[in-house]
Amino acid sequence: MDPMRLSRSKIALILVSLGVAAGCNAERAPSFPEMPQFTHTDASEWINSEPLTRADLKGSVVLIDVWTFACWNCYRSFPWLNQLEEKFVDQPFKIIGVHSPEFDYEKDRANIEAKVEEFKLHHPIMIDNDFSYWKKLGNKYWPSFYLIDKQGKARGYWIGETHAGDKRAKAIEKAIGELLAE
């Protein structure tokens, strides 16, 4: 296999797999002290919501999900994310999706909307076609999950496919519960 011919997603998948095998996929500190301001403010760059700001989320615990629609690991995490929204429906908790595409066809809003409908995603999703928010997060992988407290401070970071009941999901849900109780 010629490593120069590997796509970014395949390289990321290999790195994430190696991290999992080495037990390195535990909670990590985000590379930023507080949630970066959203980089897209036009209504055409948001799905399921008007453009949001950091101030709009003050007082809520926020889980940012960085994904792209050609990522199978992202797809497999959506059922858990949907369950998570249901679990905390009566709490000040929000999921914000950040769609950062790997390939050009993933930049098309209609294609993104089709996947949002297919996977029954109802939370706000910012379309990050220029990777500006990805860069502000210092992100490297799909999917990545960033946990933000009620004051907007970054409190946790996880990478990789996540399923209801697995070790990562339990860790994230426990952290969400602790932040909601603060």
- Note the pLDDT tens digit of each residue in 59-113: 999 999 999 999 999 999 999 999 999 999 999 999 999 999 999 999 999 999 9
Q: Which domains are present in the chain?
A: 26-181 (3.40.30.10)
Q: What pLDDT, on a 0 to 100 scale, did the predictor assign at position 10? A: 54
The predicted model scores a pTM of 0.85
Q: How many residues are there in the chain?
A: 182
Q: Are strands 144-148 and 93-99 parallel, antiparallel or unpaired?
A: unpaired
The widest CA-to-CA distance across the chain, in whole angstroms, is 50
CA distances from 107 to 14, 18, 110, 160 (A): 24, 29, 9, 22
- Note the pLDDT tens digit of each residue in 150-181: 999 999 999 999 999 999 999 999 999 999 99
Q: What pLDDT, on a 0 to 100 scale, did the predictor assign at position 32? A: 83
